[in-house]
Amino acid sequence: MAQVFHRTKLGKYYLGDTNKLLDGELGKKLRKKVQLILTSPPFPLNNKKSYGNLQGKEYKEWFIGLSEVFSELLTPNGSIVIELGNAWEPKRPIQSLLPLESLLGFVQNRRAGLHLCQEFVCYNPSRLPSPVEWVNIKRIRVTDSFTHVWWMSKNDYPKADNSRVLRPYSSSMKMLLKRQSYNAGKRPSEHAIGEKSFLKKHKGSIMHNLIELEQIDEQRELRLPKNVFSISHTQSNDFFLARCRKKSIAPHPARMPIELASFFIEMLTEPGDIVLDPFGGSNTTGFCAEKSQRKWISIDTNSDYAQQSVIRFQNPLLTHNKL
């Protein structure tokens, strides 16, 4: 029987190997019930980090095989969102094609029947320069600052609502809405802009598939959905990191950005839906799901990560549901 390491009002963290657990009782229980699988799997790293990972062809085969296992768990209109960073060839200043080949193989695996709904890029300038040899020492490559995020589903119309993750309007759009006039007509891009297309005030503007955790251009305001990128999120991160520091715990080295998890949970699920993270680590996914009143299941093999994940749920902001 699978071992529950930690449970909350809405979720359970299982300690164990995802392949084994999803192949057993837990997998049977979750069949066709999961609305969103949101995860950043172990990377095909060339030098081992503090969590185990396969390499090369072995990694790719293992990763592609997961698509069938995951697809079985989805509700008919469920989604899979996978965040995967770049990797490099050992001892060479060239990028490995393995992450992209793995993602392609995953979505093209016929037995899983998945489609790519949309690709996202998550830009995170706080990532440390790597590989150090080529970026910092020899200075022949630049800092790798983004991850690929692929949103997939079995159905062309998975549950999704972009109006749940609206960005605040830009200053120019606010002015236009106030002025109630603009240049309608055909644009050089061939888009035909109607007389009234932009005059109706909605609750904000539609999010882009470039998720900027910090702005690229300092002159430009960073407009991100308030419900997923609010101050409380920074506070959540601060709480987790401060507690880890106090207890001399090394925080997970490859945590998913809270904003990324929150964004997909809000857009692709509703309260009461089940969100699964099969490689849960410090349980960013479970935390964001609980905050948004979604049920969650997380799995990880590493008991240190399971242990530190408990800290996330001690956040008083979450207990008082003020996030």
Four-point Cα dihedral 132, 136, 140, 141, nearest 10: 60
8 is a site residue for ligand SAM (CB under 6 A): no
Of the candidates 147, 143, 148, the one whose C-alpha atom is nearest the C-alpha of residue 128 is 143
Amino acid at 117: C
Gap between the Cα atoms of 206 and 202, Å rounded: 10
DSSP E strands in 48-187: the ranges are 74-84, 115-123, 146-153, 185-186
Looking up tokens 């609502």, which residue turns up?
161
Q: Which is nearer to ligand SAM, 166 or 240 (CB)?
A: 240
CB of 134 to ligand SAM, least distance (A): 22
User: Is residue 51 near ligand SAM by the rule CB under 6 A?
Assistant: yes
Q: Contact between 252 and ligand SAM (CB under 6 A)?
A: yes
249 binds ligand SAM per the rule CB under 6 A: no
Which region among 17-25, 29-37, 196-204, 205-213 touches ligand SAM (by CB under 6 A)? 17-25
CB of residue 309 vs ligand SAM: minimum separation in angstroms? 7
E strand residue ranges, 89-195: 115-123, 146-153, 185-186, 192-193
Least distance (Å) between residue 71 CB and ligand SAM = 18
- Pick the binder of ligand SAM from 17, 58, 119, 214 (CB under 6 A): 17
Q: Is residue 70 within the footprint of ligand SAM (CB under 6 A)? A: no
Write b or e for each residue in 5-37: b if 16 or more Cβ atoms lie within 10 A of its Cβ, otherwise e. Answer: bbebebbbbbbbebeebbeeebbeebeeebbbb
Does 44 bind ligand SAM (CB under 6 A)? Our answer is no
- Which DSSP state fits 223? -
Question: How many C-beta atoms lie closer than 10 Å to residue 108's C-beta?
Answer: 13
Shorter beta-carbon distance to ligand SAM: residue 45 or 274: 45
* 40 interacts with ligand SAM by CB under 6 A: yes
- β-strands 3-7, 11-15: how paired? antiparallel
Residue 158 beta carbon to ligand SAM: minimum distance, rounded to whole angstroms: 21
Q: Decide: is 6 part of the binding site for ligand SAM (CB under 6 A).
A: no
292 is a contact residue toward ligand SAM (CB under 6 A): no
- Interface residue with ligand SAM among 207, 213, 265, 299 (CB under 6 A) is 299
Which of these segments, 1-9, 141-149, 227-235, 293-301, binds ligand SAM (CB under 6 A)? 293-301
**How remote is the C-alpha of 124 from its chain's centroid?**
12
Residue 273 within binding range of ligand SAM, rule CB under 6 A? no
Tell me if 279 contacts ligand SAM by CB under 6 A.
Answer: yes
- Token pair of 159, please? 């549950």
Binding residues for ligand SAM, per CB under 6 A?
17-19, 40, 42, 51-52, 252, 254-256, 279, 281-282, 284, 299-302, 305
